[in-house]
Amino acid sequence: MYAVSIVPRTTSCRLSSAFFCHLSIPLTLGLHHHYQHQQPHLTSLSFQIRSLRKQIDMAAQGGDSYEEALAALSSLITKRSRADKSNKGDRFELVFDYLKLLDLEEDILKMKVIHVAGTKGKGSTCTFTESIIRNYGFRTGLFTSPHLIDVRERFRLDGVDISEEKFLGYFWWCYNRLKERTNEEIPMPTYFRFLALLAFKIFAAEEVDAAILEVGLGGKFDATNAVQKPMVCGISSLGYDHMEILGDTLGKIAGEKAGIFKLGVPAFTVPQPDEAMRVLEEKASESEVNLEVVQPLTTRLLSGQKLGLDGEHQYLNAGLAVSLASTWLQKIGKLEVPSRTQMSILPEQFIKGLATASLQGRAQVVPDQYTESRTSGDLVFYLDGAHSPESMEACAKWFSVAVKGDNQSGSSGHLVNGSAGSSHDKWSNETCQQILLFNCMSVRDPNLLLPHLRNTCAKYGVHFKKALFVPNMSVYHKVGTAADLPENDPQVDLSWQFTLQKVWESLVQSERDGKNDGESNGNSEVFTSLPMAIKWLRETVHESSSATRFQVLVTGSLHLVGDVLRLIRK
């Protein structure tokens, strides 16, 4: 055991108490860089010393609290509407100026990046890919969006959200340097651009072996597209979303997504609608990109294991992840890793990576612990951030299959990622009631989303007893934490929620003639706040018989899903 003493540079700023000036490091620590031919203990010791020195330097840059950092980050959010078409491009070349100001130009060139765009499934694909590579022993960095509860969710190191101490250190280093060096010609970066730059800084300083980057919006003008030479690119399923920015046809949307293709860099995609696939193939040809179409994984390839992310659609995302991960592994010298087409059963590390992957707010089931009692009913939340017509269908199918399987098995515990299941021994379809808790952004068309959701559920024999419409608690102009969510806002504008309710009621009315679909009068309700809706659900459960289970589908917005998670976990 060696004791390493490090003396930080003199600074007037207060250092975080979490950073130590003395660190004991065992010589047996593992090797992150498997393809470097150095003695493991020396490499690891050297890395730990550099990492600690960087953390101390970073901590000296910043403010006193996490809340101060969130306030500074909030100041970068522009007040422009998402539908403002002047956002397109928005001086994309500035991203390269920021990289220069942060001295990240060389680091980003050396970074071994996997870059993924798409309309739906790109976050899940990135999560699967990261988990596979990590299970081969490599140090990973994963950048995804949006976050649900805490902004630190966007930055994962070795599969874990970055610590508050490290986040603060890197945040203030980047923020203060940009504040000092920007001007009228090169203004401070906007919110998402700053987060992408912060991800580049974190992954460079932490010396990750693989950086997995999820595109925020589109591809061509996304801040993550500052990466000029990724190892491999992926395009997940394409559909109609963000049309006010990306275009009103699948071809235009595909063209924006294909903007991440780089000269000679291999790329993979999943089966796409013909119009989208034609454009992807054209763009690939222009960039001399070998574009391969991969099929969904089969259960045979997984050797009987289940995916860590629930839902049939995840087999498509997992198939794309397998191709991305195997290509990355082969390119860095893991020659024993076969290509996807050569696999009859996936290697053990792939199976473990796919089976243990986790991502909040995607086909997630959480029982409400406040209502678990033998003297009242049962309340279970099914959360999925679907917000496009295609993802609504996938969400509805997952929910329908999940609630039926849940009811037959007698417990929600098997679906809950380690959460405790219900105490009840048995549930039947007759004693279960499905309720919808919904909101979506006003730029989306509820006349597309709600029919897809309702009709798909109906195909599986699932009918909602009631639909609840609520405004989001989190606001788009501020980054916050669970502690600062408002309980109620008397000034809240509910006009959009009443619009959603009207669409829902029209669907119900059109299906009522001569049908008994399990629904009754009082089909829907608008609540002034999410806490009020949760309160109503809990009171309804307590007033019900102990033989009733309430299964609540929360969907339409990842912001809504995050707000619900914050509330039920308080």
Binding residues for Mg(2+): 145, 214, 242
- Residue 525 sits at φ, ψ, to 5 deg, of -155, 140
Residue with tokens 């890395």: 47
Binding residues: 145, 214, 242, 362, 384
Asked whether the beta carbons of 84 and 277 are under 8 A apart, the reply is no
Is the four-CA dihedral 415, 535, 434, 547 of positive or negative sign? Answer: positive
Binding residues for ATP: 362, 384
Query: Residue 379: how many CB atoms within 10 A of its CB?
Result: 27
Asked whether the beta carbons of 147 and 360 are under 8 A apart, the reply is no
Q: For residue 218, which of 189, 238, 188 has the smallest C-alpha distance?
A: 238
Pairing of strands 378-383, 364-367: antiparallel
Return the structure tokens found at 11.
């600074």
For residue 89, what are the CA distances in angstroms to 213, 219, 221, 282? 19, 10, 5, 21
Q: CA-to-CA distance for 223 and 89, rounded, in angstroms?
A: 10
Query: Residue 18: how many CB atoms within 10 A of its CB?
Result: 13
Question: In 484-511, which positions are buried (b, 16+ CB within 10 angstroms) versus exposed (e)?
Answer: ebeeeeeeeebebbeebbebbeebbeee
Q: CA-to-CA distance for 454 and 456, rounded, in angstroms?
A: 6
Residue with tokens 């340097």: 177
Q: CA-to-CA distance for 68 and 566, rounded, in angstroms?
A: 20
Q: How far is CA 155 from the centre of its chain?
A: 10
